[in-house]
Amino acid sequence: METKFFSLTVEETLRKLHSSTNGLSSKEVLTRREKDGANVLEAKKHSTLLEKFVAQFKDLMIIILMIAALISMLAGEVSDSIIIFIVVFLNAVFGVFQETKAENAIDSLKEMTTPFSRVKRDGIISQIKSTELVSGDIILLEAGDIVPADARIISQNALRAEEAALTGESVPVSKDIRPLTDENPPLGERSNMLFMNTVIANGTAEAVVVATGMRTEVGHVAKMLDSAEDSVTPLQKNITHLSKVLTVLILIIAVVIFVFGALTKRESILDMLLTSISLAVAAIPEGLPAIVTITLALGTQAMSRKNALVRKLPAVETLGTCEIICSDKTGTLTQNKMRVEQFYADQTLQKALDFDKKNAPNLQLAMILANDAKESENGPIGDPTETALLDFFVENGASAKIQTVQHDYPRLASLPFDSNRKLMSAVVEHKGQKILFTKGAVDELLKRVTKIEENGDVRPINASDKQQILEMNKQLAFQALRVLGYAYRPLDELDELTSENYEKDLIFTGMTGMIDPQRPEVENAVFEAKNAGIKTIMITGDHKETARAIAIRLGIIAESDLNGVITGSELDELSDSELQKNIEKYSVYARVAPEHKVRIVKAWQARGKIVAMTGDGVNDAPALKQADIGVGMGITGTEASKNAADIVLADDNFATIIVAVKEGRKVFANIQKAVQYLLSANLGEVLTLFMMTMLNWSIFAPVQILWINLVTDTFPAIALGIEKSEKNVMTQKPRGSKSNFLSNGVGFAIIYQGLLEGLLTLGVYLWAVTFPVHSGSVAIHADALTMAYATLGMIQLFHAFNSKSIHETIFTKKTFENKFFNLAVLVSAVLLASTIFIPGLNSIFHVSSLSWMQWSIVLMAGVLMIVIVETVKLFTRQKMSVNSDEGSK
């Protein structure tokens, strides 16, 4: 059973660990090091590059591509098979690169550990490597140190620790040595404990190591990160499903063609095998993986220009499907920087922006002088609460006042902050007069106040004054403001500096209310997300009321929503099934631990939702990996969170996520257009060959089918990947996990458009046979086959324009805006036509020259393809409009 050291006294802790205030003996250290091992974070053994490379070929679509390459090679088309193998190889190399980058998540946790520690052994203080620490070691810490292991504090002076990276708490936490009575308090409330990789913000401490390496709290995070399974993205699911459908289609049709031809003895067994092979190659859109990759890569470049750096290509599209954004508060929704927001002085509450700097001069002096923060070239440095007080003057153009006051009121002595009395005082001197300035918790300060300053006058404080101050304190606290009270006292002489001697008979001068403010752009981003059908969830280590106030400000919850906030302790009382059942009730999670974040993500995923998780701390890494899309912070984020994320925000701006969502939706729409174009074109090819075989007509040679695929599939489909977003892309509901490439009418479009292509091609073939230009059976069928070949190719290029929008008309000014698309279609048309126009290529591609009249028939079929599809689109839009009106009623 794990020992709960936070519940033990210092003496009990030392006895439990068989240690003392003098530390361990050298002999005991060696024994424990052999037992405990090194104080390092372990990572699971990574697979080799060869193993990663081989694993890339287990994907069903890749297997189909390789089979297609072999079939093409057997058919004599070596160049085509080489192209397919190149695509497969590049995809495998890219996959290895991405997998290797993802494995750095746990390694980055390991690198965060501080290299050296001060330790007391045999009563002697020395500096050792942090990796050599063992349980029972006595470590010495001071401001700026990174805590090297989990430890129980045994003595401290004004100790505060910055634990945001582990607990999400936005301000340093005060520490003491008293044992806790709660059975299992959250990490952020274990005030007598220090945790590995957190930072000492203020004061000094001695502590005894209770856990090292993977047994620490951050080690627990590393284990969760190590064991978290990589989620399969919707894009990957769609491609896998599509590949299975294509496999079945290819096998059925190819077998039918082969069997039919063999039974009728129309062709030899070898000829029918080649026919089946050409049909199989036609049915496989071998350019699809390359087109998906290129479209995603183009989306990646667009996102990077907007400060969203993509680490894993599928994340581009996945973000466009997300329905839930679970966001860490500190540093993501807020600025992770305290700011003075309200003042209370002269019995008046004022906003910081409206504060008259001529009033309450002693309040201003207390803000500057009862303050350990220091000025630097880059602004005030020190405790975030104290730097916020100085920042107030800097932001309001009064930075010179700080230097003047500190120069005119030199500090003589100070009483540091103590978590018991919750006060901090400084003794200064001005023109021979010694003055004590004190700041701290309002309720504690009032116990030592006997007078109050009001409009420059000092009078005795009464019960009514104190009641009003406490009510105002409560009002500010309810707004999630961190409230500090200020007082001062002239001194006659400087005796022994103790709280009892000096922090008494104080004159109350005012209060300030501070908060870690929300990023200014976040409120609008949350509103945009809501319009796009995306629910924003806030997850934080802050107290419940602080979290509620911030969430209300951001529009995440309404002020009337009393049930939308839940704490980590309350979450622990819910089983996974109960949480899953009630998950939609909660929009804000306060005082949470790392495992809570993973539970929240899993609960939404169990409801079939696509979940994005943002975060910047070590504590966010497991949830970032568990989520469908992990979004890390580039500026404030730890390396662990960045490496666990799929996307990293270079500006730490929540609003950038919404921009990325828009880009993700555009990417999916463009891939869907490419899929519609490719599959409808390939279906047209399949139907054409199938019907030619069934009707005993001349059939395309494998080289003709392969050339049509090569020149008409790839270039236009890639060009479709850089189409601009269609209107209203951010007012549509998310597609969700059940959507796929065939959703939104695309499946129907593929079928009817494929049939249309096949019928038009067969119609041209029939016209050529019925109205021949040349005489002789061989010449007639040669012309008919050439016209069908040209029609099948050209009709696909005309259809590429249809595919620029699934439902909208192409007859707009934007039709020819995509210059790359126009060039792609032109190049494809030239490559196709060259096989007919260039004499040397005629025999290679088994085609004959066509007259201008024959070419006009071919082009007319292409135009007819656009007219028919546009007509169907018109009726589809009208039907959608009617359904939308009925739904709104």
Q: What is the 3-state secondary structure (H, E, C) of 812-845?
A: CHHHHCCHHHHHHHHHHHHHHHHHHHCHHHHHHH
Q: β-pairing, 348-351 with 339-345?
A: antiparallel
DSSP result, 418-487: ETTTTEEEEEEEETTEEEEEEEE-HHHHHTTEEEEEETTEEEE--HHHHHHHHHHHHHHHHTT-EEEEEE
Residue numbers annotated as active site: 328
Residue scoring higher pLDDT (814 or 27): 27
Measured distance CA(490)–CA(432) in Å, rounded: 11
The answer to whether 870 and 803 are in contact (CB under 8 A) is no
Q: Is the dihedral of CA 314, 315, 320, 325 positive or negative?
A: positive
Mean per-residue pLDDT for 511-521?
A: 87
Measured distance CA(302)–CA(311) in Å, rounded: 14
- Give the domain ranges of the chain: 5-43+109-222, 49-102, 319-335+519-652, 339-515, 667-888
DSSP state of 231: P
Mean per-residue pLDDT for 590-612?
A: 87
The pLDDT-based confidence of 737 (bands split at 50, 70, 90) is low
Measured distance CA(140)–CA(691) in Å, rounded: 84
Residue with tokens 């894009």: 235
Query: What's the one-letter identity of residue 160?
Result: R
Token reading at 607: 């409801």
Token reading at 563: 């049930």
Measured distance CA(799)–CA(821) in Å, rounded: 13
Q: Which helix (H) or strand (E) holds 580?
A: helix 576-582
The pLDDT-based confidence of 288 (bands split at 50, 70, 90) is low
Within 10 angstroms of residue 158's Cβ, the number of other Cβ atoms is 18
Position 541 scores a pLDDT of 77
* 667-888 is a CATH 3.30.930.10 domain: no
Query: Is the whole model's pTM more than 0.85, yes or no?
Result: no
Superfamily of domain 319-335+519-652: HAD superfamily/HAD-like (3.40.50.1000)
For the 339-515 domain, the top CATH level (class) is alpha beta
The answer to whether 181 and 7 are in contact (CB under 8 A) is yes
Measured distance CA(720)–CA(353) in Å, rounded: 51
The pLDDT-based confidence of 757 (bands split at 50, 70, 90) is very high
Cβ neighbors of 550 (< 8 A, separation 6 or more) are 329, 333, 334, 480, 515, 516, 518, 538, 540, 542
Position 106 scores a pLDDT of 34
Please write the tens of the pLDDT for every residue from 76-111.
Answer: 656 556 655 665 565 566 556 544 543 443 344 344
Position 383 scores a pLDDT of 79
- Is residue 304 over pLDDT 80? no
Q: Which helix (H) or strand (E) holds 667?
A: helix 654-694
* 5-43+109-222 is a CATH 1.20.1250.20 domain: no
Mean per-residue pLDDT for 276-304?
A: 67
